[in-house]
């Protein structure tokens, strides 16, 4: 266990959460909800994109909706004092079945794909709650209880997700939690699922990749407030939700504004490949440091032929540099991490699911996605290096 002052970590995480809530709450003072109408030049460019990109391909929509079990009868999640901290109702305009001239067609498509809201079966024994926060939370059925992969950003959204699972799949104890990586949208809701006493007693294990605590503190505590302010610029989260304002965050609808917490892991996965069995579920952890996050790991379920890609492979091409100030991703290391996973697990996988967006089914489809994303991240590195060697400046690149 790390000798880190936990009250200080909690205080600074709370300060960062309050800071972001204030940004969102005051947005209406600065932005007109209708924004500016797109210019004729923008409209022409959008129309060109509609004609040239393969929008007839509906495979993602088929995968996005597969396995749906149920959605709650509400679209807003509130805090204990009644504040709305998550609101899917705001995005209903995306179902109007029209192309908005103010939204890039690819962004509008992605925004519609991210409207998957509720409980889904990935395969027997693996379930996801999607659309309750920026990330997904995943429940793996063990012999006696649940192993939860990633617990969302806020306590309130995590609790709501657990209640939805209990309602439709039956109440089972949580025996373990896995933090896939060191970004807050994957660990911040921990106290909505488990409490400190159960972790301290050993009733609940918490597993995380090597370097998790060091990088969590560096990114979310030391630079927490600055990064929270800059996040509003990165994603436009201060803008009202509107076709001329905020639409989507690509890997999800947005971020919740509830209570963020952290319970320190009880077990660190420190080997490149490490096999563990918990509650009858065999898992092979694959550390991928320096990919999407400084500390991150995939997981292979050999008995299910299911591959958990963490945030290394999602339904989009991820940013490499975040304007909020997170560590710059090494796209070459990322490409190599995907390649390792492809040859270690991808050639056997029948299901691939992740911490954002939607799963993929069938080995041919899985390999297609893995190879495509591997090559894209590798090409980002190779092309920048090639252009730099040709004398092209950083601004020109």
Q: Does residue 333 surpass a pLDDT of 50?
A: yes
In a domain, residue 164? The reply is yes
pLDDT of 234: 82
pLDDT tens sequence across 202-249:
999 999 999 999 999 887 777 778 887 888 888 888 889 999 999 999
Query: Which residue shows structure tokens 């605590």?
Result: 213
pLDDT of 228: 79
Least confident of 26-40, 168-182, 237-251: 26-40
Query: For a pLDDT cut of 70, what percent of the chain falls above it?
Result: 91
In a domain, residue 395? The reply is no
pLDDT of 8: 46
Query: Which residue shows structure tokens 């730099």?
Result: 388
Query: For a pLDDT cut of 90, what percent of the chain falls above it?
Result: 81
Q: How many domains does the chain have?
A: 1
Q: Does residue 337 surpass a pLDDT of 90?
A: yes
Q: Does residue 1 surpass a pLDDT of 80?
A: no
Q: Does residue 124 surpass a pLDDT of 50?
A: yes
pLDDT of 327: 79
In a domain, residue 52? The reply is yes
In a domain, residue 325? The reply is yes
pLDDT of 14: 46
Q: Does residue 287 surpass a pLDDT of 80?
A: yes
Q: Does residue 22 surpass a pLDDT of 90?
A: no
pTM confidence score: 0.90
pLDDT of 227: 82
Query: Which residues span the domain enclosing 242?
Result: 6-389
In a domain, residue 243? The reply is yes
In a domain, residue 226? The reply is yes
In a domain, residue 156? The reply is yes
Query: Which residue shows structure tokens 């997904």?
Result: 136
pLDDT tens sequence across 66-112:
999 999 999 999 999 999 999 999 999 999 999 999 999 999 999 99
In a domain, residue 382? The reply is yes
CA-CA distance, 344 to 351, in Å (whole number)? 14
CATH number for position 118: 3.60.15.30
């Amino acid at each position: 266990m790390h000798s880190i002052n936990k009250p200080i970590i909690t205080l600074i995480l709370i300060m960062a959460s309050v800071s972001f809530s204030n940004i969102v709450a005051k947005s209406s003072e600065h932005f007109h909800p209708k924004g500016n109408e797109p210019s004729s030049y923008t409209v022409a460019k959008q129309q060109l994109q509609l004609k040239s990109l393969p929008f007839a391909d509906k495979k993602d929509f088929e995968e996005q909706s597969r396995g749906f079990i149920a959605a709650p009868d509400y679209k807003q999640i509130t805090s204990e004092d009644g504040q709305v901290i998550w609101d899917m109702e705001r995005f209903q305009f995306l179902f109007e079945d029209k192309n908005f001239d103010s939204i890039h067609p690819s962004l509008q498509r992605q925004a519609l794909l991210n409207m998957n809201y509720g409980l889904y079966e990935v395969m027997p024994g693996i379930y996801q709650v999607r659309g309750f926060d920026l990330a997904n939370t995943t429940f793996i059925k063990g012999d006696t209880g649940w192993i939860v992969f990633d617990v969302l950003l806020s306590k309130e959204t995590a609790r709501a997700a657990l209640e939805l699972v209990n309602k439709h799949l039956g109440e089972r104890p949580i025996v373990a939690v896995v933090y896939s990586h060191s970004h807050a949208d994957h660990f911040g809701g921990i106290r909505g699922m488990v409490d400190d006493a159960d972790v301290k007693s050993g009733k609940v294990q918490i597993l995380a990749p090597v370097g998790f605590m060091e990088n969590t503190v560096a990114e979310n505590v030391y630079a927490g407030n600055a990064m929270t302010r800059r996040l509003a610029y990165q994603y436009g989260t201060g803008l009202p939700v509107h076709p001329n304002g905020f639409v989507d965050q690509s890997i999800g609808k947005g971020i919740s504004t509830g209570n963020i917490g952290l319970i320190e892991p009880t077990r660190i996965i420190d080997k490149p490949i490490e096999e563990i069995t918990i509650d009858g579920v065999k898992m092979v952890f694959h550390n991928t440091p320096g990919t999407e996050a400084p500390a991150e790991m995939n997981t292979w379920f050999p008995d299910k032929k299911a591959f958990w890609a963490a945030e290394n492979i999602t339904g989009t091409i991820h940013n490499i540099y975040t304007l909020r100030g997170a560590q710059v991703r090494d796209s070459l290391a990322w490409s190599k991490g995907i390649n390792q996973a492809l040859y270690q697990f991808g050639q056997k996988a029948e299901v691939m699911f992740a911490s954002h967006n939607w799963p993929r089914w069938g080995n041919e489809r899985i390999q297609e996605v893995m190879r495509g994303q591997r090559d894209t991240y590798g090409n980002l590195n190779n092309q920048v290096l090639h252009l730099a060697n040709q004398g092209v400046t950083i601004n020109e690149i």
